[in-house]
Structure 1
Amino acid sequence: MEFHGTEVREKALTLLRAGMRNAEVARRLNVPKGTVGYWLHTERARRGALPGRPTPSCPRCDGRELDERAYAYLLGLYLGDGHIVRYSGHRVPNLMITCSDDWPELIDACEKAMRAVFPGNSVCRVRKTGCRNVKVYSRHLECLFPQHGPGRKHERRITLESWQRRIVEKHPWELIRGLVHSDGCRVANWTVRLVGGERKRYVYPRYLFANKSRDILRLYTEALDRVGVEWRTARRRTGVCDVSVARRASVALMDAHIGPKR
């Protein structure tokens, strides 16, 4: 049996995508017609596009329209509490976002965003102790989340591709909302001050976002800068960095677009 290299296979697939028939590709590249047919079959199977098996198309591969607002929110959730997994024996990987049972509206928002970004794909909730794993199954997960890779997110480089950056620049509040819903919170702090010789307690709200990844922190603070929110950072001994939003005007902006988790 004669084996053909990856370069020949990619040339064949390029010609096939351009509309050339199997037989013509085989003659041009001096490859058996059956081999060309096998390459085409495996490529279609990889994309979930085998005849008789209609599968939702991909915005990156097929140019399907993408709900960019929902995607920016889902991207924030993924960078915080999400990961892509492929279980042994499963042909299709899944994107899993872990959401606490304490915030049922957040779980609903996560599922709604998944269905908007992957219309027609299988979405489900898996009950775990104290949380729900919201999942979507698709062969094109890595097309839309190229940040996927081995290891923990804070141990590898996290950068956005140009098309992702364009989306988050257009919808910065949705990215911020997703990040806060995953690794952030709205809390009430208090302090005691002397006023006219009397000690008075003052309560004020602020938003906190915590993460170990410098890249994810940078994406968050860049988005805050874009919408005019003032912030400060403080790093813990554990390596986690807290981003605090405490100024009254900035908290009011965050309340208008995000608010506490529910």
Structure 2
Amino acid sequence: MYDERVRAIALAAISAGESLNSISKRLGPSRSTLRDWRDGDRCPPRPNDCPICSDETPPAPSYSHLLGLYLGDGCLSEHRRGVYALRIACDDAYPRLIDEAAGVMSAVHSSRPVHRVQAIGYTSVVSYWKHWPCLFPQHGPGPKHQRTIELAQWQRQIVAEYPEMFLRGLFNSDGCRVANWATRRVGGQTKRYEYPRYQFSNESADIMGLCQWALDLLGIPWRMPRPNALSVARREGVRRLDAFIGPKG
């Protein structure tokens, strides 16, 4: 049996286009199990129901993922008749992440179509709904780093339950996995060593604090080389992040 965290990570990888064989080798579930998860029963769409207005909660793994994407590269904008557009800006260099953002947005509210709007160098993944502000009470005027960003209690509970998916959203938006190098003297000779590390950059101290909190929940060590940049470089931390994030490309 696999817990809901593994299932959520696997479904996110499937929606991003990763092969079942690759996911099976990385996470453990067989390909038949992955197919069952992929093709399993889905909740019927509820075109007008808002889970927050109904004293319910959105689907936790997908919402935690989408919340990370929203805090990284997302915004809400108001249109006519009280309809809001949720937009996630995705770099065209990473088509896998565009597919993943569209998939997770649809999973949170499946009765609303998800559109892809091409811009110069990036694609906006967009969905229209009157109740998006209910799901993202952090919405407000101006850039996120110029206002307070705090999670509601129900949001904190979801992130605490699925910190992996929240971090996947954050790092896929404003983070990266890079190769660093260092030199060391061995036997009188200078040798170069390469090692991977994860970086997360954000101008909002509040969003940075949420990233730190989620990493702490998983026991992943981090450091702050700059006030707006976080680094995970220790081998065990990188290995943990590789299990549910991995390179963007």
TM-score of the pair, normalised by structure 2: 0.79
Is 1:57 paired with 2:44?
no
CA offsets, 1:8-40, max 9 Å, x none? xxxxxxxxxxxxxxxxxxxxxxxxxxxxxxxxx
Number of the residue aligned with 2:73: 81
Q: Do 2:84 and 2:133's aligned partners in 1 also have CA atoms closer than 8 Å?
A: no
Q: Do 1:57 and 1:64's aligned partners in 2 also have CA atoms closer than 8 Å?
A: no
Q: Do 1:188 and 1:203's aligned partners in 2 also have CA atoms closer than 8 Å?
A: yes
Is 1:130 paired with 2:121?
yes
Identity of aligned residues (%): 49
Q: Do 1:56 and 1:121's aligned partners in 2 also have CA atoms closer than 8 Å?
A: no
* Aligned equivalent of 1:229, options 217, 220, 226: 220
Number of the residue aligned with 1:171: 162
AA matched with 1:62 = S
CA offsets, 1:84-133, max 9 Å, x none? 0124x465210000001111111111011111111101210001121110
Q: CA deviation at 1:66?
A: 2.1
Larger radius of gyration: 1
Number of the residue aligned with 1:48: none
Number of the residue aligned with 1:13: none
Number of the residue aligned with 1:186: 177
AA matched with 1:261 = K
Q: Could you tell me how far apart the structure 1 residues matched to 2:133 and 2:171 are?
A: 23
Q: Could you tell me how far apart the structure 2 residues matched to 1:55 and 1:234 are?
A: 46
Gaps of 5+ in 2: 1-45
Aligned length: 204
AA matched with 2:139 = H
Number of the residue aligned with 2:206: 215
Number of the residue aligned with 2:191: 200
Q: CA deviation at 1:164?
A: 0.4
Q: CA deviation at 1:151?
A: 1.0
Which structure is richer in relative contact order (CA contacts within 8 A, separation 6 or more)? Answer: 2
RMSD of aligned alpha carbons: 1.4
Is 1:149 paired with 2:140?
yes
CA offsets, 1:140-192, max 9 Å, x none? 01100000001110111000000000000000000000000000000000112
Number of the residue aligned with 1:242: 229
Q: CA deviation at 1:201?
A: 0.7
Number of the residue aligned with 1:96: 87
Structure 2 SS opposite 1:189: strand
Structure 2 SS opposite 1:166: helix
Q: CA deviation at 1:62?
A: 2.4
Q: Please identify runs of 4+ aligned residues in structure 1 that moved more than 3 A.
A: none
Is 1:110 paired with 2:91?
no
Q: Could you tell me how far apart the structure 2 residues matched to 1:100 and 1:202 are?
A: 30
Q: Do 1:56 and 1:119's aligned partners in 2 also have CA atoms closer than 8 Å?
A: no
CA offsets, 1:186-242, max 9 Å, x none? 00001121110111110000000011111101100000011010000022xxxx511
Q: Do 1:192 and 1:200's aligned partners in 2 also have CA atoms closer than 8 Å?
A: yes
AA matched with 1:250 = G
Structure 1 SS opposite 2:116: strand
AA matched with 2:144 = K
AA matched with 1:215 = D
Is 1:68 paired with 2:60?
yes
Q: CA deviation at 1:65?
A: 5.7
Q: Could you tell me how far apart the structure 2 residues matched to 1:215 and 1:108 are?
A: 28
CA shift in 2, pair 1:128/1:111, >3 Å: same
AA matched with 1:232 = R
Q: Could you tell me how far apart the structure 1 residues matched to 2:219 and 2:54 are?
A: 36
Is 1:259 paired with 2:246?
yes
Number of the residue aligned with 2:42: none
Compare 122-131 and 60-69 and name the one that shifted more: 60-69
AA matched with 1:85 = S
